[in-house]
């Protein structure tokens, strides 16, 4: 589809509501981590960056009710490419799930905390209180896995991967070859600046994202136009795929290629360096999570 056809296809599919809640996750740490919500990756960090992460997570919430959250925490990095083998004696990690919404003027209301957690420093006694005489020794550990749940009330419902095929039941060698071919074709089309092909492949995933963010038609039009508007403006150097793994998510209904080399650990196949006319460089990693819809044999982008 060209841009006009895609915008026409999307028209009427996004619903708007009197109250449009937005859920976000806020993470503060120097440690590394992977976060999944309903078994979909929403955040990961494998570097020595310092700062607070705050990002929306509505696209991982398919419907109202209990949402599952898992966080895997890893040691910090010694330098840009060298992770520490173990945690320090007093590692710091905290996160919040917060809920907000936009008012009629488009302003965000004051966030309310739905769930929060801080990595404990002390053991818990029989009464459920911290025993300050028993500090937790993390110094011989290199991974912590924490599971949580929270309630989200959202006015929309997304199909997502809820009815997709179970990829763990397929021939894995054939599936992996199919995934590689899909991703290679997508990158080739991007290199050729066939952005209509690329955006059409993302179309169903985009529609669910637009719904989860309640995006207005003018914003949707801007996003659908963005790639074609930038034709010829960038030299796109795709970073070769070296070490990688195939990862299953979404209760085995989602598959992705994840880079496993030190420089780009956890990033997707769709990873490239943008160089503008002034020579400024920027590494861009687009999400690329695939599924096979129920009754189909073909891969589609789901997020």
96-129: burial string, b at 16+ Cβ within 10 Å, e else? bbbbbbeeeeeeeeebeebbeeebeeeeeeeeee
Average pLDDT, stretch 1-26?
Answer: 95
pLDDT at 260 over 90: yes
Residue 14 has pLDDT above 90, yes or no: yes
Residue of higher predicted confidence among 1 and 89? 1
Distances (CA, A) of 133 to 64, 125, 216: 42, 10, 55
Residue in the block written with tokens 């059409």: 200
How confident is the model over 199-247, as pLDDT tens digits?
999 999 999 999 999 999 999 999 999 988 878 766 668 999 989 999 9
pLDDT, position 234: 64
70-124 residue pLDDT tens: 999 999 999 888 999 999 988 999 999 999 998 777 788 999 999 999 999 998 8
Structure tokens at 289: 């999570």
**Look-up of token digits 């993302």:** 202
Global confidence as pTM: 0.92
The closest of 17, 46, 20, 112 to 260, measured between CA atoms, is 46
* Rounded average pLDDT over 170-194: 95
Whether 62 shows a pLDDT value over 90: the answer reads: yes
pLDDT at residue 277 greater than cutoff 80: no
Lookup: tokens for 188: 């080739």
Give per-residue pLDDT as tens, 125-179: 888 888 888 999 999 999 999 999 999 999 999 999 999 999 999 999 999 999 9
């Amino acid at each position: 589809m060209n841009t006009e056809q895609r915008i026409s296809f999307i028209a009427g599919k996004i619903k708007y509501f009197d109250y449009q809640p937005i859920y976000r996750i806020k993470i503060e740490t120097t440690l590394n981590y992977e976060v999944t919500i309903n078994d979909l990756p929403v955040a990961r960090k494998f570097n020595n960056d310092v700062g607070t992460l705050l990002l929306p997570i509505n696209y991982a919430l398919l419907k109202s009710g209990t949402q599952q959250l898992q966080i895997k925490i890893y040691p910090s990095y010694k330098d840009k490419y060298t992770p520490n083998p173990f945690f320090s004696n007093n590692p710091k990690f905290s996160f919040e799930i917060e809920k907000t919404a936009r008012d009629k003027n488009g302003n965000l209301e004051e966030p309310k905390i739905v769930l929060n957690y801080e990595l404990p420093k002390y053991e818990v006694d029989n009464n459920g209180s911290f025993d300050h005489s028993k500090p937790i020794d993390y110094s011989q550990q290199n991974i912590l896995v924490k599971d949580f749940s929270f309630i989200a009330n959202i006015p929309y419902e997304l199909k997502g991967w809820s009815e997709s095929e179970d990829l763990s039941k397929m021939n894995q060698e054939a599936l992996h070859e199919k995934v590689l071919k899909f991703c290679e074709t997508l990158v080739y089309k991007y290199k050729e600046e066939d952005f209509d092909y690329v955006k059409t492949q993302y179309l169903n995933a985009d529609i669910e994202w637009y719904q989860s963010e309640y995006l207005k038609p003018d914003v949707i039009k801007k996003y659908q136009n963005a790639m074609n508007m930038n034709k010829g403006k960038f030299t796109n150097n795709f970073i070769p795929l070296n070490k990688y793994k195939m990862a299953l998510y979404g209760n085995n209904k989602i598959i992705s290629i994840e880079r496993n080399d030190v420089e780009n650990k956890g990033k997707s196949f769709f990873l490239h360096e943008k160089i503008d006319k002034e020579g400024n460089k920027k590494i861009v990693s687009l999400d690329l999570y695939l599924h096979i819809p129920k009754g189909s044999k073909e891969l589609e982008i789901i997020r």
